Amino acid sequence: MAIPVPLRLRRLGVTTLSVVALGIAAVSLPAGAHDDDHGAAGPCPPGQQRANERAGDNFALACLPGLDIAKLDDRAAVLAPGEIEKSANIELLANIPKSGPFAGESSFETDLAFQGDYAFQGNYDGLSVYDIRKPHKPQLVTQVLCPGSQNDISVLGDLLVLSVDSSRSNDTCSNVPQSATIKESWEGIRVFDISEPTAPEYVASVETACGSHTHTLAPSKDGRDVYVYVSSYSPNVNFPDCQPPHDQISVVKVPVAAPQDAAVVSEPVLFPAEEGGGNPPGGYSRETSGCHDLTAYPSKDVMAGACMGDGILVDISDRESPVVTEQVRDTENFAFWHSATFNNAGTKVVFTDELGGGGGPTCNPTIGAQKGADGIYDIVGGQLEFRSYFKIPRTQANTENCVAHNGSLIPVAGRDIMVQAWYQGGISVWDFTDSANPKEIAFFDRGPLSTDRLILGGSWSAYWYNGHIYSSDIQQGFDV
């Protein structure tokens, strides 16, 4: 039975679909404390704040006033550095450590994409390509040094797209950081030709307003073009190419036959001020000034967006003129709407909350089970209706950054099952077929990188592809 797969197109390229058999064991989430005062995290131990700021992304949010790490209860954390805890129905088949120009601690491994026999891994300093014809023996085949965080990555056909959300001196791969206050600085998307996967060819760059933090892809209905929906946020009056209010996204059109002609074709405003759009300041949830992540389901002409303080549904039947059709907020438990994943039928969306920006230890009883978690919404009559939260039930140490992060659907007929990364909380496989009662059915968790300091690490993204789970570990490389 062929099952349509509504993954972000950065994860497309599925050539065989199979029903995955997993042992089911319901795991109760801890009740935990419900503390409304920890929407901002910090203060950090000496040196961590500076390290988080240098890391970019939202990691510095872990060091804002309001959360004293010393007061977090991590007594239930059981793993030491180098130790592994896992369920009986999951096995680590292979690990390829970081190497070459990506070996350093600040050279973070990021997102993953797949096509045919290859996996593509983003890194703050470029991208890596792996041959995965033998998943238990993957091979690193090439690395492309091309700095520009976070190099969020997507693949469709022979095209690979990277997002650059750090201001650079130019659009080539020979660049250095340069202040966004300088008009000539560049950030946006890079387009590569991967018709020969072992030798990606850089063919185009497109500058976009406020850069490109993440993106999602949708082919045109005639297949002649690929549309790149670019998410970016946090404008600044001092940045000439990133002016407030920036309640918009960028739509880039890439002709399949001539990718060098890629260009911005529209900049639709999703939260027009005159209609009261965007989450207001002063609350627990982050004020909206753009989107962090979009996920397209092209065959259904719909897209879901996680936009800082808002979750949205978007009609993309006109690829160049997306229109918001639904908008929801969670000002009690969601600090930062981070990502969105459809179920297979397109009747549900899992939104993630990146409490603390991904740089803080939020998986513990002090934070509780409803913050830094997933929010499960059913789509009923075109409206998003909240059903429940899901969060991993294991306590992580105070030196482990842990929060809900990137995952994908596992295509099982009649079921809604997702695999998901939780940074140093490891990876979790969980079932949300019953939207109101999600349950974990498998997990894999490494111990902290250090008992003395919080080193940003863990699984950035964990995705199912052709019968296996692949994880991009920030510090420890590529896992199967």
Supply the pLDDT for residue 26.
25
CA–CA distance from 457 to each of 53, 394, 429, 448 (Å)? 15, 17, 19, 9
pTM above 0.85, yes or no: yes
378: left (phi over 0), alpha (psi -120 to 50) or beta: beta
Residue 50: its pLDDT value, please? 56
pLDDT value for 272: 86
The confidence score (pLDDT) of residue 281 equals 80
pLDDT recorded at residue 13: 31
Radius of gyration of the chain (CA): 20
- For 229, half-sphere exposure in the C-beta direction (CA atoms, 13 angstrom radius) is 35
pLDDT of residue 137: 98
Q: For residues 197 and 295, what is the distance between their CA atoms, to the nearest angstrom?
A: 24
Instruction: Note the pLDDT of residue 474.
Output: 98
> What's the confidence (pLDDT) of residue 71?
81
Q: Which tens digits make up the pLDDT trace of 460-477?
A: 999 999 999 999 999 999
Please tell me the predicted confidence (pLDDT) of residue 382.
Answer: 96
Q: What is the pLDDT of residue 401?
A: 96
- The confidence score (pLDDT) of residue 45 equals 52
Q: Residue 62's pLDDT is what?
A: 62
- Chain centroid offset of residue 460 CA: 7
Contact 251, 227 (CB under 8 A): yes
Parts of the chain with a pLDDT under 50? 1-42, 46, 65
Per-residue confidence (pLDDT) for residue 9, from 0 to 100:
39
